[in-house]
Amino acid sequence: MTSDTATGAAGPISTPERPSSAAFPESGRGTGGTAQPRRLTLAVSCFGTLLVLMNYTAPMSTLSDTAADLGAGLSGQTWMLSSVMLGIAALLLITGGLGDAHGQRRAFFYGSLLLAAGTVVCAVATDTGVFVGARIVQGIGSAAIMTASLGIIGYAFPSGPQRVRATGMWGAMVGGGITLGPAISAALAMVSDWRLGYWAFAVGAVLLAVAVRTLIDEYKGGRPERTDWAGAVLLGVAVTALLAALVQGRSGWLAPKVLALFAVAVVLAVAFVVVELRIATPMVDLRLFRDPDFNAATLGSLFTGLSILGVLSYLPTVMQKSMGMTALAGGAMLGIWAGTSFVVSLLTRRLTDRVLGWHRLIIGLVLSIVGDVAILGIAPDANWARFVPGLVVSGIGSGLLNAGLARMAVESVPAHRAGMGAGANNTARYVGAAIGVALTVVASTSVTPSGNAAVDAGAGMDRALLVCAGLSALGALCIALTRIGKSSRTGS
């Protein structure tokens, strides 16, 4: 089986050679209206993805100002960063199926409206709860935009070089959005305040909805299937309960409330598995986990979110607190990692098949460990240039992971399950990222206060980096064990 894959700093989202619901029309003509020029279809799809990732990363450079204005403590800051990931993770698989059944343009359009609505509420929010709720709405809209925009490209462009170039451009927008989002948000905050960035992104989302409505043909295939809303709700609430337990755990891990939240998370996770085993059209077919390569790809995505995306999401905030960086400078530091990851993702696709996917995953996680160690030492008197090598090495590791995960996500499943395989892979990534943010904040705030907030912020991030390095090591070990298990069963 072959696949066309788009990669970016946030990770891969893969398009199968043929979707499970219907074959892509080679003419580029949809089911409704006159076929629009493919370049317009590609431009709108890429703009949607760029906007999603800019919204996703917007708070990373302005978190301190936003939290101060809304009166958010450390718990609130954790939810501000992780809530959008929660919305994406819970609905990513659902929105893909809805687009196939009811129309990709329709999913794209309503996703844009949801993104616009959530962003407007972020801009006018006066308390943390409203802001977090709006970020979840942003995540739901973002999930629809990402799946629909990539699905439209798959339908509009015939397989082969044209689709490879189109998905490559789409992937560039993923990396570009992560690089530009914090920088634009910080720059606009310098002009007015942190709210201006959200107003700008809201205008962009409205323009996107208009463009989708007027410039994109409708694409859909297959008859509508029953949507697994029960699975989506169980997964979303289970992850929410786990995040709440981690956030509340700072006040005592054995507190009754914390233990109750952990218990709720476990019960709902078990219920999710039961539902997925019994329902006729599950979000994810759990039988896929019988394949060691699929397990390796899923573990790789989960640990990428846990150990890389989580800590880097909070890094600009800590650099501002400890080193006195501006929001714009903190966003630029994140851009070093994101830009390196994007370039390496593209270059790695040229590697020969002799460099196996699981090799890339392990090497990527090991490089992430090296990068984490190299970033240790954030302090008030530290020079920003000292951390560039670590960010570059971590970016190289992320790029290798992205390229390896993208291919394994679809090649480890049957052809008719390629879309589900890619969706499960990305869901694992965003679930991991949401939990990773919570773990990072918990670890970085667990140091004994010294009386100097700037010193404490740097020392706390050192602890968080070591925790994430340990998680990367655990991820590499788990992937290696899945490979050993496969070899022992096959006798190879």
Lowest mean pLDDT among 98-102, 204-208, 209-213, 287-291: 98-102
Helix (H, G, I), strand (E, B) or coil at 412: coil
User: Residue 5: is its pLDDT beyond 50?
Assistant: no
Confirm whether 30 is domain-assigned.
Answer: no
Q: Are 144 and 48 in the same domain?
A: yes
Per-residue confidence (pLDDT) for residue 179, from 0 to 100: 82
Per-residue confidence (pLDDT) for residue 398, from 0 to 100: 87
214 φ/ψ angles, rounded to the nearest 5 degrees:
-105, -25
Confirm whether 56 is domain-assigned.
Answer: yes
Q: Which two tokens stand for residue 386?
A: 């000292």
Query: Are the CB atoms for 310 and 436 separated by under 8 Å?
Result: yes
Per-residue confidence (pLDDT) for residue 473, from 0 to 100: 96
pLDDT-derived band at 110, boundaries 50, 70, 90: very high
Q: Are 274 and 294 in the same domain?
A: no
Host domain of residue 126: 37-219
Q: Are 270 and 319 in the same domain?
A: no
Stated as kind and residue range, the H or E segment containing 454 is helix 453-490
- Whole-angstrom distance, CA of residue 49 vs CA of residue 69: 29
- DSSP notation for 259-323: HHHHHHHHHHHHHHHHHHHH-SS-SS-GGGGGSHHHHHHHHHHHHHIIIIIHHHHHHHHHHHHHH
Q: Are 359 and 271 in the same domain?
A: no
Q: Are 211 and 255 in the same domain?
A: no
Q: Are 204 and 298 in the same domain?
A: no
pLDDT-derived band at 15, boundaries 50, 70, 90: very low
Lowest mean pLDDT among 16-30, 62-76, 374-388: 16-30
Confirm whether 186 is domain-assigned.
Answer: yes
Confirm whether 31 is domain-assigned.
Answer: no
- Whole-angstrom distance, CA of residue 272 vs CA of residue 286: 11
Q: Beta strand pairing status for 13-16 and 3-6?
A: antiparallel
Confirm whether 6 is domain-assigned.
Answer: no
Q: Are 173 and 296 in the same domain?
A: no
Q: Are 266 and 299 in the same domain?
A: no
Q: Are 187 and 75 in the same domain?
A: yes
Average pLDDT on 98-119 reads 89
CB burial of residue 127 (10 Å; 0-12, 13-18, 19+): exposed
Q: Which two tokens stand for residue 354?
A: 């002799």
User: Residue 361: is its pLDDT beyond 50?
Assistant: yes
Confirm whether 415 is domain-assigned.
Answer: yes
Average pLDDT on 19-23 reads 38
CATH number, domain with residue 391:
1.20.1250.20
Per-residue confidence (pLDDT) for residue 221, from 0 to 100: 59
- Whole-angstrom distance, CA of residue 412 vs CA of residue 151: 20
pLDDT-derived band at 3, boundaries 50, 70, 90: very low
Lowest mean pLDDT among 30-34, 139-143, 274-278, 437-441: 30-34
Per-residue confidence (pLDDT) for residue 415, from 0 to 100: 59
Helix (H, G, I), strand (E, B) or coil at 350: coil
Q: How many domains does the chain have?
A: 3
Q: Are 145 and 294 in the same domain?
A: no
User: Residue 222: is its pLDDT beyond 60?
Assistant: no
Looking at per-residue pLDDT, the higher value among 84 and 97 belongs to 84
Looking at per-residue pLDDT, the higher value among 161 and 200 belongs to 200
Per-residue confidence (pLDDT) for residue 365, from 0 to 100: 94
Per-residue confidence (pLDDT) for residue 236, from 0 to 100: 86
Q: Are 215 and 352 in the same domain?
A: no
CA distances from 385 to 177, 210, 308, 388, 392 (A): 24, 43, 20, 5, 11
> Which residue, of 166, 189, 219, is where some domain finishes?
219
Average pLDDT on 176-184 reads 86
* For the ranges 89-103, 130-144, 286-300, the one whose mean pLDDT is highest: 130-144
Average pLDDT on 282-289 reads 83
Per the prediction, the chain carries an average pLDDT of 83
pLDDT tens digits for range 409-466: 666 777 556 567 767 877 888 889 888 988 898 888 888 888 898 999 999 999 999 9
3 φ/ψ angles, rounded to the nearest 5 degrees:
-150, 155
Per-residue confidence (pLDDT) for residue 21, from 0 to 100: 36
User: Residue 355: is its pLDDT beyond 60?
Assistant: no
Confirm whether 17 is domain-assigned.
Answer: no
Q: Are 253 and 345 in the same domain?
A: no
Confirm whether 11 is domain-assigned.
Answer: no
Q: Which two tokens stand for residue 136?
A: 């979840």
Query: In angstroms, how far is the first alpha carbon of the chain from the final one?
Result: 22
Per-residue confidence (pLDDT) for residue 268, from 0 to 100: 94
Stated as kind and residue range, the H or E segment containing 14 is strand 13-16
